Amino acid sequence: MRIDVLTLFPEMFTGVFGSSILKKAAEKESVSYHLTNFRDFSANKHKTVDDYPYGGGAGMVLKPQPIFDAVSHVRKESVESRVILLCPQGERFNQRKAEELAKEDHLIFICGHYEGYDERIREQIVTDEISIGDFVLTGGELAAMVIIDSVVRLLPGVLGNEHSALEDSFSTGLLEHPHYTRPADFRGMKVPDILLSGNHSKIEEWRLNESLKRTKDRRPDLYENYINAQKEKNRTE
């Protein structure tokens, strides 16, 4: 997978792309990262990328020309690209979206600043508008980092255990079950006996029940969706 990030602050990504799983994924050549400062594509002699909004109002708006030209430049090697606009007005990001994007060969992220984007950017070059939550950030860089991290870890061969991503919270529709490791007794707090039994079918049953219980308590919306999906599945079988 190739990932291009269009940003006014490429230095923000250096530590993220050079650490942990994202670094290992690049070393395994599962992904390549490319940072582009779209200010470099400004046709204005002062290299400005924003201007006042028509009709008045607070804040500045990103101009279309630098972003159009920057996207055209990074698309040269891959015409079939998903162009993702980080925006609080976008689709709420979730695990299903991460799984969808992980199947792509080329992702382009546009990180905005200021008051917003010229609408022609949305209309002509963007394939996806994504928000990571109902709040506003200074810019799109942190949102891009979150999405890239969640996508790259799903690429084949990136995680040491291929089953890890399949069992993550949200991948199954439920929150993940509790985990324990050694020692079995830590300051009087003991690991559930079932996990020490060696009975794998009983362990899987316990984990499912714990996932159901945790999801019902913490995310009743997910629990209801899961139960309804199971009912629908049983009706069609």
82 an active-site residue? no
- 132 in a labelled binding site: yes
Catalytic site includes residue 88: yes
Half-sphere exposure of 39 (CA within 13 A, CB side): 11
Query: Strands of 32-36's sheet, edge to edge?
Result: 32-36, 2-6, 106-110, 82-92, 128-131
The residue from 115, 129, 149, 210 that is catalytic is 115
Instruction: Provide the greatest CA pair distance for the chain.
Output: 72
Question: Which among 168, 207, 214, 219 is annotated as catalytic?
Answer: 168
Q: Using CA atoms, how far apart are residues 154 and 165, in angstroms rounded to an integer?
A: 6
Catalytically annotated residue among 10, 88, 207, 219: 88
Is 136 in a helix, a strand, or coil?
coil
- What is the phi/psi pair of residue 178, to 5°? -65, 150
153 is catalytic: yes
The verdict on whether residue 134 carries a ligand-binding annotation is yes
Place of tokens 């949102």: 143
Asked whether residue 90 is marked as a ligand-binding residue, the answer is: no
Collapsing DSSP to helix, strand or coil, 122 comes out as helix
Which residues contribute to the annotated binding site for S-adenosyl-L-methionine? 112, 132-137
Which residues contribute to the annotated binding site? 112, 132-137
Q: Provide the annotated active-site residues.
A: 88, 115, 153, 168
